A and B are shown apart, each in its own frame.
Chain A
Amino acid sequence: MLMETPDETLALGAAGGDRAAFAALVTRHYDRVFGLCWRLTGSRAEAEDLAQDICASLPGRLQGWRPEARFTTWLYRVVVNAAHDARRRAATRTRAAAGWGDWELARHDAMAEERAAQDWLAQAMQRLSPELRDTVALVLGEDLTQAEAGAILGLSEGTIAWRMSEVKKRLRAMAAEEAKA
């Protein structure tokens, strides 16, 4: 029964101290949180840590939750913001430690059959600025509309559209380079 209850109801229950509701909510959404973390950071270890930190912070954050936005929209915003925090700290600790950079180092150890696809993804993502990566992770990775992605990132739909056209441009340039090589 509990699994079919809408997110919003569960969130309200959790905010009110309903343990079962909170457990159902976190269980239901962990994979989604982890998936977006991975798309935002490009590193499995980092995504797992980030997802765990987000889960641990949810009880506190839910205290302030009001059923005005869809729960998933709200949750995406939490994840994007947490990823930004992490990125900011990463930049302070060392110059080159953005997740997709880690990936570049780690990819030599990646399993052989995954390698080609991952290389391409890492290359493509590295070519994008952090802002474009966020946008791509939400629009392509999470199948959100540009309006939804805009709501999560606090930007207008037009800005998201513009960013997606930038992404196309970079990919086109990358394809052109590949064709030359």
Chain B
Amino acid sequence: MTRDDDDLAALKAALKAGPAADPAARAAALTRAMEAFENSAPATQGTASAARSNPDRPEGAGFWDGVRSMFDALKLRPVLAATTSAAALAVGVFILLPQAQVGLPTAIAPQTDSAPVNPAAADETVEAEVVATEPPGATVAPTSRKLVAEPSPMAQATPGEEAAAGSRAALAAPADAPMAESFAADMAAPVIVGTPAPEPMLRQQENTETFANAPANPVKITAEAPVSTFSIDLDTASYAIVRSALTGGFLPDPEAVRVEEMVNYFPFTLPPPAADEGPFRPTISVMPTPWNPGTRLVQIALQGRLPVINDRPPLNLVFLIDTSGSMDEPNKLPLLKQSLGLMLSELRPEDQVAIVAYAGSAGEVLPPTAAADRAAIMGALDRLAAGGSTAGAEGLELAYQTAARMAGDGEVSRILLATDGDFNVGIYDPEGLEGYIARKRDSGIYLSILGFGRGNLDDAVMQSLAQSGNGTASYIDTLQEARKVLVDQLTGALFPIADDVKIQVEWNPAAVAEYRLIGYETRALNREDFNNDAVDAGEIGAGHAVTAIYEVTAPGSDALQNDPLRYGQAGAAQGATGELGFLRLRWKAPGEEVSTLLETPISADAPANEEAQFAAAIAGFGQLLRGSVYLNDWGWDQAIALAEANRGQDAFGYRIEAVNLMRLAKALSAQ
């Protein structure tokens, strides 16, 4: 530890010893500032330079959180990569996305009118930004010019400014002339003139990982917001990322932890639906909250119909494999080949497999081949070698073409995209790509994503593409995990039984005063989205189980987080207290347009079994990793004890692995 502190102290001292401000530069800056002040005097208020709708605004905390959560919900890498201040352009682009796709745009809409913007100036600025940031050949989304985007400080540059920038740099040159020259050249040429940029902006994020997440759901007051709506989430990538971090000897980035994905990683023994029921069956259980004696946990678990393996329709699989240079690591391409090899032995002779590789340019490595021809498929896999850069979009198009060629009546077509997340060449228009995948989804071709390796794993893009493609995003770090994802759950991963599964819970204010949904931050839906069949949501595959956990507080409990209103009207609570709430589920049969509704009351008398207790332990584990404020003094020891006591059969050892990860996390967090 002292060693670390020495290092930090050295870094601090070095940072502190930075150059003193140059008096000439200082004077020039102050002069510019005063000029700008003259020009922005109250007479010119209301032009583009004033009252900017900007994340920089001090009241921006709230606004910015909104933007952040929207970005997080969108989970597009460029948005995340562009960091806070890129909001100027990005906000504008996303504001105009159709609600159906975004799900959350209302959060941002009210903010836009706070910026009285001179339309001409805004147009110009957007134009300049677009020119500066778009790579050659990219198509500018037609909407982007209509935006109320606001200029960033540098984009305000008047045409004459590049010269000024150059000369400023030159003035500062004496000490280090070569740098200043190259700086001036760099500044002047591409940024302002708009010379095609050699690399798209995504490149800058090399060796970084982006994670999609949103702030933890807050406690809600039933009287104010009795209805909670969200989409199910079957992804499990977050758990594997957490495991990879912990076994690597460090705590995961709190942003990388999505509690619901950690819970859903585990197979739970739940009663399957009866023959005359829908494709899945809800199981509800209520238990005291381990970390808060004043509240209860309500678990809603959906168990998909168990697959009848023998009757399954023929499968058409397209392996879309990233063979970019970054895949050339033992835990990437070689592991991927082994994983797909494992899966191959589970396929039937009538199934078909094709392989498309993408790196630099996309190419079909193996034309559609019957799964019976194992030698040909394994041979093609073995010939794959890493090299070149990645062209994700092109590869996807080719994979969809191949899948369309293979499709037959009653068959299931799916693309399995295996990548380390290096989607950095070829996506000029991420929303366009997502839209493309969403359209293909409607043609019945699903897309699942398998993530490999760490270092530049792009969780955000993985998530958003899988979500658009009605598939799941999984992260494969070991052959063991490959078996779990591809073989054990092959049926579930590959045979959708219900699309667009949405959950809506209406809480009974007589029995529940406050509630909090644990996890599912990135899956929130608007209340009205529930009945809107155009709004996309998660899918359940055959045999899948998915669990959602609420922490609820009874009226009058000491654990209530909010005091009653002094002047509010005490709402006359309806309904008996024996019913905590009412559960509504909507789903569509695969390929159908119209959804089915299932309703059932949530009884307060639904004892929790071992399975639910274990799920609660994992939810606690996830919240500990996220640094949740709701756990009181419940800590690692309690989480370990709870998980340990409810391991159940655990035939595959998933649960004991989780217990060991908790022990690791405990040791690491004590450091």
Give Cα distance in the complex from A42 to B633, angstroms: 43
The 10 tightest CB contacts between A and B, nearest first, are: A81-B85, A91-B204, A60-B49, A171-B7, A158-B627, A55-B33, A106-B179, A121-B14, A57-B153, A52-B29
* CB–CB A22/B60 < 8 A: no
* B41 touches which of A17, A78, A81, A110 (Cβ 8 Å): A17
Residues in chain B within 8 A of chain A (CB atoms):
3-4, 7-8, 10-12, 14-22, 25-26, 28-30, 32-42, 45, 49-61, 64-65, 68, 82-86, 132-133, 135, 152-154, 156, 165, 168-169, 172-173, 175-180, 182-183, 186-187, 189-191, 197-201, 203-204, 207-208, 215, 250-251, 253-255, 626-627
Residues of B within 8 A of A149 (CB): none
* B84 touches which of A80, A94, A106, A110 (Cβ 8 Å): A80
* CB–CB B199/A63 < 8 A: no
Give Cα distance in the complex from A174 to B4, angstroms: 11
Main secondary structure on A side of the interface with B? helix
* CB–CB B176/A58 < 8 A: no
Give Cα distance in the complex from A49 to B21, angstroms: 12
Residues of A within 8 A of B626 (CB): 158
Give Cα distance in the complex from A94 to B11, angstroms: 28
Is A147 interfacial (CB 8 A cutoff)? no
Give Cα distance in the complex from A165 to B29, angstroms: 36
- Contact string, A45-62, partner B, CB cutoff 8 A, digits 1/0? 110110111111111110
- Contact string, A135-177, partner B, CB cutoff 8 A, digits 1/0? 0110011000000000101101011001011111101101100
Residues of A within 8 A of B200 (CB): 92
Give Cα distance in the complex from A127 to B32, angstroms: 35
Q: What number of residue pairs across chains A and B have CB atoms under 8 A from each other? A: 283
* CB–CB B36/A39 < 8 A: no
Contact residues on A (Cβ < 8 Å of other chain), bracket: 35 or more
Residues of A within 8 A of B64 (CB): 154
Residues of A within 8 A of B627 (CB): 156, 158
Residues of A within 8 A of B55 (CB): 81, 154
* A51 touches which of B15, B25, B191, B254 (Cβ 8 Å): B25
Main secondary structure on B side of the interface with A? helix
Give Cα distance in the complex from A52 to B21, angstroms: 12
4 other contacts beyond A19-B37, A130-B204, with CB at 8 A cut-off? A26-B30, A49-B165, A106-B179, A131-B208
26 contacts between A and B (CB under 8 A): A43-B179, A43-B183, A45-B179, A48-B172, A51-B21, A55-B36, A56-B32, A63-B45, A66-B58, A81-B55, A81-B56, A81-B84, A84-B85, A87-B204, A88-B86, A92-B200, A93-B197, A94-B199, A117-B14, A140-B11, A156-B215, A162-B251, A167-B11, A168-B7, A171-B7, A172-B3
With known contacts A159-B255, A168-B4, A56–B33 Cβ distance under 8 A:
yes
Residues of B within 8 A of A129 (CB): 207-208
With known contacts A59-B40, A84-B84, A93–B15 Cβ distance under 8 A:
no
With known contacts A44-B19, A81-B55, A137-B15, A57–B180 Cβ distance under 8 A:
no
Residue of B nearest to A142 (CB): B15
* CB–CB A45/B4 < 8 A: no
* CB–CB B84/A153 < 8 A: yes
